[in-house]
């Protein structure tokens, strides 16, 4: 095939949802042999652009045109093109969780053959064999019989990569490939995508971070407010990533301020003794002993599937330990009911993203944090409205309060979930990969907001895979591996240990 052969053309294309333009005046050409990365801040239109090119959505009527060139003939519809593509998107994972489609890992990969979310017919032996091969290629054989709703965000994300590759697509669309993956998984996923590109599959990906763009990408497109502001070949010097382990936290001090005058006199926030969690006959957590005290802010580290999300669900009362294990919240005789826990402990996790995709405004979504509900159960008070609005100002998001959330990007909705968790001024704030899908500005805004609530007396448990997010306010570190807590202690102890540079524990 001629490397200059045109595959897709966009002429003055716009995409509109309701009265909101998500993309405007898009002019772009995809030629065979080209691999593209689409960059831009949260809300710039990256996901919408990928969906437009692939054919998941149509241009606004009478607003430019989109042409697919198949067998030398142009056509406006994606039929014949779409079937030769694969996609990796967190939106699909949200659909599984919001609809409760609890497929096995093998079944999810099999859906990739017909590019559907669900299996509508029994897969053939050939499809099953190729799906098993795709899982083996990513080292995911253990996920074959696991249910997707029991998987961590990172495990499910890797499963979707296998699903996208199972039918060997001509063009692979990837929306934030590395989001939710630990360091080792990121490197394996990037290497795999580069191998796939070398074998002839074209890549079109969206990313915030240049370090998470595969080396095979040879063209960059940058969006801002739904418009292309830069487009062209990628500079040769920019395609090499430094893959050596980095220890960026060394030398940082914990500069946070606690309002507790006598930390040791107050009861611990969380106490766990010999905690096991079992699911389907297998132990997810094993013999966990952990105490979180007033004034301590913990980083919780561990590879995908190590049990971090299960541990968080235990803290907020969604899981119970096997008989013999003990968890106490806020001391002996402390809170036990779900309502009491929700009033004093706030949790932000990727699982929430799908649950809150309702017909509601950004302000209504943040206000629902006062009730621990999905949607507003009744009219909020004036004081609650003023408190919620103050967080829009603190996080530099004024002006979007009355917009419907379906008009927002994945990263913007994550910011709303964080604000929703903060409005109640919780005693303990648990953040599970809170900056996944956020650009650098939004990450810094989150850091400032969390630092502020810590100074006002809130304690934090912060789950991350990224050593760059070992913020100064994190005073202690706990590490999970295969359901066991292999390290817990003060930050300086961790920094001087082998665990601080081991990618296996991230």
**CATH code, 479:** 3.40.50.300
Q: Residue 125 has what pLDDT?
A: 93
Q: Residue 128 has what pLDDT?
A: 95
> Are 293 and 432 contained in the same domain?
yes
> Are 73 and 158 contained in the same domain?
yes
350, part of any domain:
yes
460, part of any domain:
yes
CA distance 482 to 496: 23
- From 217, 238, 259, the end of a domain falls on 238
CA distance 152 to 309: 7
Total residue count of the chain as it appears in this document: 506
| Half-sphere exposure for 416 (CA within 13 Å, toward CB) | 32
> Are 227 and 299 contained in the same domain?
no
Q: Which of 338, 337, 389 is nearest to 366 (CA)?
A: 389
Q: Residue 288 has what pLDDT?
A: 94
Q: Residue 425 has what pLDDT?
A: 86
> Are 353 and 498 contained in the same domain?
yes
> H or E segment at 140?
none
CA distance 127 to 49: 31
> Are 42 and 102 contained in the same domain?
yes
Q: How many domains does the chain have?
A: 2
> H or E segment at 269?
none
Q: Residue 247 has what pLDDT?
A: 39
Helices (H), 307-381: 308-315, 338-344, 351-355, 362-367
161, part of any domain:
yes
Q: Residue 502 has what pLDDT?
A: 55
292 lies in which domain range?
267-505
CA distance 45 to 47: 6
Q: Which of 430, 256, 224 is nearest to 345 (CA)?
A: 430
Q: Residue 504 has what pLDDT?
A: 45
Stated pTM of the model? 0.76
> Are 380 and 461 contained in the same domain?
yes
Rg, Å, the chain Cα set: 23
> Are 320 and 444 contained in the same domain?
yes
261, part of any domain:
no
Per-residue pLDDT of the chain (506 residues; tens, 9 = 90+): 445 799 999 999 999 988 889 999 999 999 999 999 999 988 899 999 999 999 999 999 989 999 999 988 899 999 999 999 999 988 888 888 878 888 999 999 999 998 888 888 899 999 999 999 999 988 899 999 999 888 888 888 889 999 999 999 999 999 988 887 888 888 888 888 999 999 999 999 998 877 789 999 999 999 999 999 999 998 765 544 443 333 333 444 444 434 434 445 568 999 999 999 987 778 899 999 999 999 999 999 988 888 898 999 999 888 889 988 999 998 877 766 777 887 889 988 877 776 777 788 999 999 998 888 888 888 999 999 999 999 998 888 888 999 888 878 777 888 888 889 989 888 999 999 888 877 888 888 888 888 888 888 899 999 988 777 888 999 999 999 999 999 999 999 998 887 765 544 44
Q: Residue 265 has what pLDDT?
A: 54
- Asked if 451 and 473 touch (Cβ cutoff 8 Å), the reply is yes
> Are 192 and 317 contained in the same domain?
no
> Are 344 and 430 contained in the same domain?
yes
Report the sign of the C-alpha dihedral through residues 99, 316, 358, 413, in that order: negative
> Are 137 and 49 contained in the same domain?
yes
CA distance 466 to 440: 13
Q: Residue 226 has what pLDDT?
A: 94
Other CB atoms within 10 A of residue 211 CB: 13
């Amino acid at each position: 095939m001629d490397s200059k052969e045109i595959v897709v053309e966009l002429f003055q294309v716009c995409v509109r949802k309701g009265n909101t333009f998500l993309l405007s005046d898009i002019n772009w050409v995809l030629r065979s042999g080209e691999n593209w990365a689409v960059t831009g801040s949260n809300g710039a239109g990256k996901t919408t652009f990928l969906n437009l090119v692939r054919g998941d959505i149509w241009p606004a009527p009478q607003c430019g045109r989109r042409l697919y060139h198949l067998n030398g003939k142009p056509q406006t519809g994606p039929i014949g093109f779409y079937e030769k593509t694969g996609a990796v998107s967190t939106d699909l994972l949200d659909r599984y969780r919001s609809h409760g489609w609890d497929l096995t890992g093998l079944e999810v990969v099999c859906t990739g053959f017909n590019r559907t979310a669900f299996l509508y017919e029994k897969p053939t032996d050939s499809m099953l064999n190729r799906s098993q091969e795709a899982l083996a290629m990513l080292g995911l054989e253990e996920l074959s019989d696991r249910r997707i709703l029991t998987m961590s965000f990172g495990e499910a994300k890797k499963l979707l990569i296998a699903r996208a590759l199972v039918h060997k697509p001509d063009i692979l669309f990837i929306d934030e490939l590395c989001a939710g993956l630990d360091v080792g998984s990121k490197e394996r996923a990037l290497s795999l995508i580069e191998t796939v590109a070398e074998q002839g599959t074209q890549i079109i990906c969206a990313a915030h971070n240049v370090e998470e763009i595969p080396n095979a990408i040879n063209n960059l497109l940058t969006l801002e407010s739904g418009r292309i502001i830069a487009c062209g070949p990628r500079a040769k010097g920019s395609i090499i990533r430094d893959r050596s382990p980095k220890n960026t936290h060394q030398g940082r001090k914990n500069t946070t301020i606690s309002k507790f005058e006598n930390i040791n006199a107050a009861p611990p926030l969380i106490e766990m003794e010999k905690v096991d969690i079992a699911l389907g006959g297998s132990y997810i957590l094993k013999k966990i002993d952990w105490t979180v005290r007033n004034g301590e802010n913990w980083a919780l580290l561990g590879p995908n599937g190590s049990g971090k999300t299960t541990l968080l669900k235990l803290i907020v009362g969604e899981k119970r330990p096997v008989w013999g294990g003990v968890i106490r919240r806020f001391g002996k005789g402390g809170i036990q009911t779900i309502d009491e826990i929700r009033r004093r402990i706030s949790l932000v996790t990727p699982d929430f993203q799908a649950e809150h995709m309702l017909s509601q405004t950004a302000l209504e979504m943040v206000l629902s944090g006062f009730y621990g509900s999905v949607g507003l159960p009744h009219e909020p008070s004036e004081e609650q409205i003023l408190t919620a609005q103050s967080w829009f100002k603190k996080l530099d998001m004024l002006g979007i309060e009355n917009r419907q959330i379906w008009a927002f990007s994945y990263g913007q909705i994550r910011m709303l979930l964080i604000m929703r968790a903060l409005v109640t001024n919780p005693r303990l704030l648990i953040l599970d990969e809170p900056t996944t899908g956020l650009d650098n500005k939004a990450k810094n805004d989150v850091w400032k907001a969390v630092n502020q609530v810590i100074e006002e007396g809130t304690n934090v448990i912060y789950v991350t895979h990224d050593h760059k997010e070992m913020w100064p306010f994190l005073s202690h570190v706990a590490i999970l591996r295969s359901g066991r807590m292999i390290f817990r202690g003060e930050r300086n102890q961790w920094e001087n240990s082998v665990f601080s540079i081991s990618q296996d524990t991230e």
